[in-house]
């Protein structure tokens, strides 16, 4: 069993605000992240897949296929978008780094399995000072 990771990136706008709360409550909890006019980030996404090495290629999965898969299912939908408004699979989900990482896992789990591997970890970096990791449960 070996673990292979592909890094991709996307740039997006978002804000953190609970729609059930007042602006003052949101400012108190989320601080600057609740700015009504949005802010944004350069996100770095690390997708880790585990599997056996195929004897004829030396590959676990072909990284070019994995990269196309991530772009199709994730980064084409997130890059240069508003995470609160523009993304089908984020409807009704708070676009915190945690919420986004789990949503990405749900989008990728099945396609990665069809590629011949098993999704092991979604690591999502929002800034160089914070990131989350999700292992599926």
133 carries an active-site annotation: no
What is the smallest separation between the CB atom of 19 and its own copies, expressed in angstroms?
11
Alpha helix segments (H runs only) across the chain = 23-30, 63-70, 76-78, 97-114
33 carries an active-site annotation: yes
Q: Measured between alpha carbons, how far is 37 from 43 in angstroms, rounded to an integer?
A: 19
Q: Check residue 68 for interaction with its own copies (CB under 8 A).
A: no
Residues 6+ apart with CB under 8 A from 85: none
Q: Check residue 127 for interaction with its own copies (CB under 8 A).
A: yes
Catalytic residue among 9, 28, 52, 80: 80
Which DSSP symbol is given to 71? I
Q: What is the binding site for its own copies (CB under 8 A)? A: 1-9, 11-14, 16, 18, 20, 29-33, 35, 37-42, 48, 53, 56-60, 62-64, 79-82, 85-86, 93-99, 101-102, 127-135, 137
């Amino acid at each position: 069993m070996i673990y292979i990771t592909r890094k991709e990136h996307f740039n997006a706008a978002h804000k953190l605000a609970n729609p059930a709360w007042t602006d003052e409550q949101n400012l108190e909890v989320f601080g600057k992240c609740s700015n009504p006019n949005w802010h944004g980030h350069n996100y770095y996404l690390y997708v880790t897949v585990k599997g056996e090495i195929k004897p004829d290629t030396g590959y676990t999965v072909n990284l070019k296929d994995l990269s196309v898969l991530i772009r199709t299912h994730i980064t084409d939908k997130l890059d240069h978008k508003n995470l609160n408004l523009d993304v089908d699979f984020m409807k009704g989900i708070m676009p915190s780094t945690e919420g986004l990482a789990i949503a990405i896992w749900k989008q990728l789990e099945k396609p990665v399995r069809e590629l011949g591997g098993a999704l092991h970890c979604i690591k999502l970096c929002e800034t160089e000072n914070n990131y989350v990791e999700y292992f599926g449960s």
